[in-house]
Structure 1
Amino acid sequence: MRHLALLAATTLAGCTVGPNYAGPPAVASDAAARGTFVRANDAALTPTPGLARWWDALGDAQLTALVDQSLANSPTIDQATARIREAQALLSQQRASRYPSISTNLSYLHAQLPGSSLTGAGGDGAAQGGTGQQQAPSSLQIDNFNLGLTASWEPDLFGAKRRGVEQARAMIEARFADLADAQVSLSAQVAQAYVNLRDVQARIQLNDRSAQLQQRQVALAQQRYDRGTASLLDVERLQNQLESTRADAIPLAAQRDGYLNELAVYTGRTPGALDAVLTPGAPVPLPPASVPIGDPAALIAQRPDVRSAERALAANTAAIGVNKAKELPGVRLLGLLGLGGSSPGDIFDFGKLTTLAAPMLSYNLLDFGAARAKTRQAEAQRDTADAQYRQTVLDALRDAEDALSRFGNTRAQLGQLGRAEASAARAARLNAQRVSAGTSTVSEQLDIERQQLSAAIAVAQTKAQLTNAFIAVNKALGLGWNTQTTRMQKL
Structure 2
Amino acid sequence: MRRQRPISLQRSRLTRRALTAGALAFGVSACAVGPDYQTPLLDMPVRYGNAPKGQGSQATDLIRWWRGLRDPMLSALIDEAVAGNLDVATAKAKVREARALRRQAIGALFPNVDGSASITRNKTASSRGSSSTDTAGSLASSPYTLYQAGFDASWELDLFGGNRRNVEAATYSLEASWDDLDAALLTLIGDVAVNYVEARGYQARIALARRTTASQRETAAITKSKFEAGAASAVDVAKAIAQAATTESNIPTLEIAYAEAVHRLGVLTGREPAALTQRLATAKAIPAPRLPLKPGMPADVLLSRPDVRAAERRLAESTARIGEAEAALYPSVSLTGNISTSAQKLGDLGKSSTIGWSWGPQLSVPIFNGGQLRAAVDVTESQRDQSYIAFRAAVLTALEDVENALVALSKERVRASRLSESVQANRDATRLARQLFQTGSSSFLDVLDAERSLYSAEDTLLQSRVAISTDYIALAKALGGGWTDPVDVATPEAVDIGTGPHIPALATPPRVTP
Q: After TM superposition, is the score higher than 0.5?
A: yes
Aligned length: 460
Give matches, 1:91-490, under 5 Å: 91-112=102-123, 115=125, 118=128, 141=143, 143-349=145-351, 352-430=354-432, 448-482=450-484, 484-485=485-486, 487=488
Query: Relative to 1, partners in 2 of residues 1:253 and 1:213: Cα closer, same or farther, differing over 3 Å?
Result: same
Larger radius of gyration: 1
Query: Relative to 1, partners in 2 of residues 1:185 and 1:424: Cα closer, same or farther, differing over 3 Å?
Result: same
Query: Relative to 1, partners in 2 of residues 1:489 and 1:388: Cα closer, same or farther, differing over 3 Å?
Result: same
**What is the one-letter code of the residue matched to 2:30?**
G
How far the C-alpha of 1:446 sits from its partner, in A, is: 6.8
**What is the one-letter code of the residue matched to 2:302?**
I
How far the C-alpha of 1:400 sits from its partner, in A, is: 0.8
Say whether 1:65 aligns with 2:76: yes
1:100-148 Cα offsets, whole Å, 9 max, x none, are 12122221122456x475369xxxxxxxxxxxxxxxxx96745320121
**What is the one-letter code of the residue matched to 1:143?**
T
| Aligned twin of 2:89 | 78
Instruction: Give the SS at the match of 2:414.
Output: helix
Q: CA contact under 8 A between 1:317 and 1:379: conserved in structure 2? A: yes
| Aligned twin of 1:23 | 39
Query: Relative to 1, partners in 2 of residues 1:13 and 1:450: Cα closer, same or farther, differing over 3 Å?
Result: closer
For 2:83 and 2:62, the matched residues in 1 are separated by: 20
1:69-111 Cα offsets, whole Å, 9 max, x none, are 1112211111111111111111111111101121222211224
For 1:429 and 1:251, the matched residues in 2 are separated by: 28
**What is the one-letter code of the residue matched to 1:62?**
M
How far the C-alpha of 1:450 sits from its partner, in A, is: 4.6
Instruction: Give the SS at the match of 1:286.
Output: coil
Q: CA contact under 8 A between 2:69 and 2:289: conserved in structure 1? A: yes
Q: CA contact under 8 A between 2:120 and 2:146: conserved in structure 1? A: yes
Instruction: Give the SS at the match of 2:35.
Output: coil
How far the C-alpha of 1:180 sits from its partner, in A, is: 0.7
Query: Relative to 1, partners in 2 of residues 1:70 and 1:322: Cα closer, same or farther, differing over 3 Å?
Result: same
Q: CA contact under 8 A between 1:174 and 1:309: conserved in structure 2? A: yes
For 2:391 and 2:260, the matched residues in 1 are separated by: 36
Query: Relative to 1, partners in 2 of residues 1:250 and 1:221: Cα closer, same or farther, differing over 3 Å?
Result: same
1:231-253 Cα offsets, whole Å, 9 max, x none, are 44443333333333222211211
Q: CA contact under 8 A between 1:37 and 1:295: conserved in structure 2? A: yes
For 1:258 and 1:424, the matched residues in 2 are separated by: 32
Instruction: Give the SS at the match of 1:149.
Output: strand
For 2:280 and 2:411, the matched residues in 1 are separated by: 30
How far the C-alpha of 1:457 sits from its partner, in A, is: 1.4
**What is the one-letter code of the residue matched to 1:118?**
R
Instruction: Give the SS at the match of 2:48.
Output: coil
For 1:272 and 1:23, the matched residues in 2 are separated by: 47
**What is the one-letter code of the residue matched to 2:97?**
E
How far the C-alpha of 1:221 sits from its partner, in A, is: 3.5
For 2:194 and 2:482, the matched residues in 1 are separated by: 14
**What is the one-letter code of the residue matched to 1:280?**
T
How far the C-alpha of 1:346 sits from its partner, in A, is: 2.6
Instruction: Give the SS at the match of 1:359.
Output: strand
How far the C-alpha of 1:371 sits from its partner, in A, is: 0.8
Query: Relative to 1, partners in 2 of residues 1:339 and 1:329: Cα closer, same or farther, differing over 3 Å?
Result: same
**What is the one-letter code of the residue matched to 1:51?**
L
Query: Relative to 1, partners in 2 of residues 1:28 and 1:485: Cα closer, same or farther, differing over 3 Å?
Result: farther
Q: CA contact under 8 A between 1:51 and 1:292: conserved in structure 2? A: no
For 2:175 and 2:457, the matched residues in 1 are separated by: 51
1:283-339 Cα offsets, whole Å, 9 max, x none, are 111112432222211122211000000000000000001110011111122211222
Q: CA contact under 8 A between 1:155 and 1:332: conserved in structure 2? A: yes
For 1:365 and 1:107, the matched residues in 2 are separated by: 39
Q: CA contact under 8 A between 2:293 and 2:476: conserved in structure 1? A: no
Q: CA contact under 8 A between 1:110 and 1:143: conserved in structure 2? A: yes
1:36-64 Cα offsets, whole Å, 9 max, x none, are 21011378999533422110011111111
Identity %, equivalent residues: 33
5+ residue gaps, structure 1? 1-10, 121-137
**What is the one-letter code of the residue matched to 1:145?**
Y
For 1:292 and 1:47, the matched residues in 2 are separated by: 7
Q: Which moved more, 1:274-283 or 1:346-355?
A: 346-355
How far the C-alpha of 1:487 sits from its partner, in A, is: 3.6
For 1:140 and 1:489, the matched residues in 2 are separated by: 59
How far the C-alpha of 1:216 sits from its partner, in A, is: 2.3
Residue of structure 2 aligned with 1:14, choices 8, 11, 30: 30
For 1:347 and 1:289, the matched residues in 2 are separated by: 80
Instruction: Give the SS at the match of 1:485.
Output: coil
Query: Relative to 1, partners in 2 of residues 1:450 and 1:244: Cα closer, same or farther, differing over 3 Å?
Result: closer
TM-score, L = length of structure 2? 0.82
Q: CA contact under 8 A between 2:93 and 2:489: conserved in structure 1? A: no
